[in-house]
Structure 1
Amino acid sequence: MRWFIALAAVVHAMQWITLLMNLGYLRRWRPEAHTSGLPSGKLSVLIPAYNEAHNLRTLIPSLLKQDHAHVEFILVDDGSTDETQEVLAGFDDHRLTVLRTQGPPEGWVGKVHALYQATRKATGTHYLFLDADLTLLREDTLSRIDRVFAETPARVLTGLPNLKGGGLLLVSLVASAVLNGLPWPIARMTRRRSLGALNGQCWMVDAETYHKHELHASHRSEILEDVRIGRFLIGSGRPPTLVDLRRDLSVTMYRTLPEAWVGFRKNAYLIVGGTPLAFAALFGVFGFAFSVAPFLSGGLLLSLYALKATTDRFMGMPLWVTALAPVSYLMSSAMQLDSAWHHLTGKVRWKGRLVSPQIAARSQTVPHRTAPDLQV
């Protein structure tokens, strides 16, 4: 048991090194540190929406208040069955284009297909992909993001927004994964794909790079398309820059804890390895380090609380979320096992759609830049 505790201590130490490195890195990569430049070119903001009526009532007004001089908003209603169409019909602005599809064709994941269709209509020089559950917190949010983007070394940006809503015992661990799990400064200096990722809630790339690789079409059947695209880009010499956007964007990922559980279930297995062997190895190491070892070692329990307190304070989480840190990690471990079961049995669903990769027919053909099945 002593050796297992020692291994857990090494895992904690690596997370501390990564966290402190990333916090220093984010002090530079935040809009407040990039105020001298001006937005250049036309910005296309591309948003997928499937049964997002509730969130769109907040998102769209925050978009239409933006002061960016050259921007278009393209929102794809991906076959919604709720009041999404009615909500969208209530907004009239020349910058807003609404497209409608009948849902993803065979071989495509819904969100990936919706964003691909949006890029068929986009006319900007660079694309900002946003989730529908985001809210822009300032009237100059897009201008601020555009200025930072212009100074990123590889012209690829991904954002860390403010996290809010329900299910915070699980949602708060998103920040831990981003800040403790990936060494963003090191990723920029290497082409190791394993260090690459994007936050699919918010990422940005120039249109030329996007269409050179047709980033969504080439990852059409991926549930975890943001991570896969990030790894592809880093392997192509275009490492994403993580930007602190807590003061510019907020995201209400889920409204309740059960909803959060189901939401994370669709991709947790893929994040933790994605194959039975890789999942068993990573789950064994990290599950023991954060869900078992802290109950066997006072030092590791203190480390767990300190790690969680640091990320929670950075993200502005309530104190009760930090106080229940061990519960968060235990719930996360249980949810990962649930995710593995659903993936291995082909039963992963989200908003009524079956999204298991086992039923996605993978194709290597990249469609031409047209969108014949869209309704405008």
Structure 2
Amino acid sequence: MRPWRALTWAGSAGAVALTAHSLLNARALRVPRLDPPPVAGRVSVLVPVRDEEDTVQECLTSLLDQVELPDYEVVVVDDASGDRTADVVEAVAAADERVRLVRSDGPPAGWLGKTHACHVLAEHATGEVLVFVDADVVLAPHAVSAAVDLLRGTGFDLVCPYPRQLALTWGERLVQPLLQWSWLTTLPLRRAEVSSRPSLAAANGQFLVVDAATYRRAGGHAAIRGEVLDDLALLRAVKAVGGRGGVADGTALATCRMYEGWDEVRAGYAKSLWSAFGSRPAAVAVGAGLALTYLVPPVAALGGSPVGALGYLAGVVGRYAAAERTGGRSVPDAFAHPASIAVLLGLLADSWRRKGRGELRWKGRTL
């Protein structure tokens, strides 16, 4: 029992410390202005799409409703969609000259689909600022101008206003809130903005704003052509050439339902989770740390340990605070935080298993 007590104490102490850190981060998280001034200069809003006929119309409608953008274009690259995505975009482009559709036959050898689509988008962009937006994102009318205002006001080269994540089914509700919770809990946000260390980085390609000159100096998406986590890789490339940036609070700027149901959650995380920590040993170490911090204490609490109960409650408070800060569902979901961590560890193992068997696929393509 003595080793188990030691593990309970260590896990609970870790949970308390990480929750305290997340509360500090919640105060430090940058918030874009809700009444930004008009943007000076040209802005290119860039949308990569593949089989998005159900979502792209709403996305484009929100992009065309942007305010305080005197001069902007919307460029859409259709990445060899097999559905009516291109037809939907063409209809929008025919009615509004700000929209242009570019067709792609798919990525050449050595490229992933999204990195290649983003590369093609950047080649067709004419703006001083590039705004990458995923097709399942819906922007508020002031979103782009607020994001550009934040980029320029902070002197950053890249900023990701993190959209409010919509999670409806049980699988989504267990897993998706961990996206914001993870960097709020573990990453020193203000230090990460200026640090060139690869480990101190957080980004989100759903809504990513980057200075065009810095983007090209960093090599753009051509420099990260084979990276599954392209958003994180792009931020690291920008930092490698002396740039700065990171995440911001995009709760009032954008919404995104990333996956619909458990099957999509599992497939989506399988394609990318293996690459999140750099190597298999690092993934094992992170998984062990998460289990120690967020699974051992609640198990101990079930056995009557007050220390374990403290650790469990610390995890719940951290999850609750992250949800409240980022517009997520806080109650009762926060109380299921240990279940969320257990599911995440299962997804991590599944991702590595699929990678080892060569079974990683996304939208009909082998990765």
- Contact 2:116–2:225 at 8 Å: present in 1 too? yes
Q: Distance in 2 between matches of 1:321 and 1:82?
A: 36
The aligned residue for residue 313 of structure 1 is 324
Q: What CA deviation, in whole Å up to 9, does each residue of 1:242-270 have, x standing for no partner?
A: 22111111011011122112111211121
Please give the secondary structure, in 1, of the residue aligned with 2:208.
strand
Please give the secondary structure, in 2, of the residue aligned with 1:245.
strand
Please give the secondary structure, in 2, of the residue aligned with 1:266.
helix
Q: What CA deviation, in whole Å up to 9, does each residue of 1:131-178 have, x standing for no partner?
A: 1110012x2222222222211223321111111143121111111113
The aligned residue for residue 249 of structure 2 is 244
The aligned residue for residue 86 of structure 2 is 85
What are the residue-to-residue correspondences of 1:112-151 with 2, within 5 Å?
Answer: 112-137=115-140, 139-151=141-153
- Contact 1:197–1:229 at 8 Å: present in 2 too? no
Q: Distance in 1 between matches of 2:222 and 2:194?
A: 27
2:179 pairs, out of 163, 174, 177, with: 174
- Contact 2:201–2:246 at 8 Å: present in 1 too? no
Deviation at 1:22, TM superposition (A): 1.9
Deviation at 1:87, TM superposition (A): 1.4
2:278 pairs, out of 274, 294, 297, with: 274
Percent identity (aligned): 27
Q: Distance in 2 between matches of 1:293 and 1:229?
A: 37
What are the residue-to-residue correspondences of 1:344-359 with 2, within 5 Å?
Answer: 344-355=356-367
**What amino acid maps onto 1:105 in structure 2?**
P
Deviation at 1:322, TM superposition (A): 2.4
Q: Quick check: 1:324 aligned with 2:324?
A: no
Q: 1:235 to 1:213 in 2, by over 3 A?
A: closer
Deviation at 1:286, TM superposition (A): 1.6
- Contact 2:49–2:77 at 8 Å: present in 1 too? yes
How many residue pairs match? The answer is: 350
Please give the secondary structure, in 2, of the residue aligned with 1:74.
strand
1:152 pairs, out of 154, 157, 160, with: 154
Deviation at 1:326, TM superposition (A): 2.3
Q: Distance in 2 between matches of 1:234 and 1:158?
A: 14
Deviation at 1:194, TM superposition (A): 1.1
**What amino acid maps onto 2:338 in structure 1?**
P
Q: 1:72 to 1:109 in 2, by over 3 A?
A: same
**What amino acid maps onto 2:279 in structure 1?**
T
**What amino acid maps onto 2:253 in structure 1?**
D
Q: Quick check: 1:202 aligned with 2:207?
A: yes
- Residue segments in structure 1 that go unaligned for 5+ positions in a row: 356-376
Q: Distance in 2 between matches of 1:325 and 1:353?
A: 33
Q: Distance in 2 between matches of 1:281 and 1:232?
A: 25
- Contact 2:11–2:296 at 8 Å: present in 1 too? no
- Contact 1:196–1:234 at 8 Å: present in 2 too? no
The aligned residue for residue 2 of structure 1 is 5
Deviation at 1:10, TM superposition (A): 4.3
Q: What CA deviation, in whole Å up to 9, does each residue of 1:31-79 have, x standing for no partner?
A: 24x74x5412111111111111111121011111112111111111101
The aligned residue for residue 259 of structure 1 is 264
The aligned residue for residue 292 of structure 1 is 296
TM-score normalized by structure 1?
0.88
Q: Quick check: 1:56 aligned with 2:86?
A: no
Please give the secondary structure, in 1, of the residue aligned with 2:41.
coil
**What amino acid maps onto 1:338 in structure 2?**
D
Q: Distance in 1 between matches of 2:22 and 2:366?
A: 36
Q: Quick check: 1:108 aligned with 2:111?
A: yes
The aligned residue for residue 39 of structure 2 is 39
Structure 1 stretches of 4+ moved >3 Å: none
Q: 1:148 to 1:107 in 2, by over 3 A?
A: same
Please give the secondary structure, in 1, of the residue aligned with 2:295.
helix
Q: What CA deviation, in whole Å up to 9, does each residue of 1:258-310 have, x standing for no partner?
A: 21121112111211x23221112121112332233332211111111111111
**What amino acid maps onto 1:214 in structure 2?**
G
TM-score normalized by structure 2?
0.90
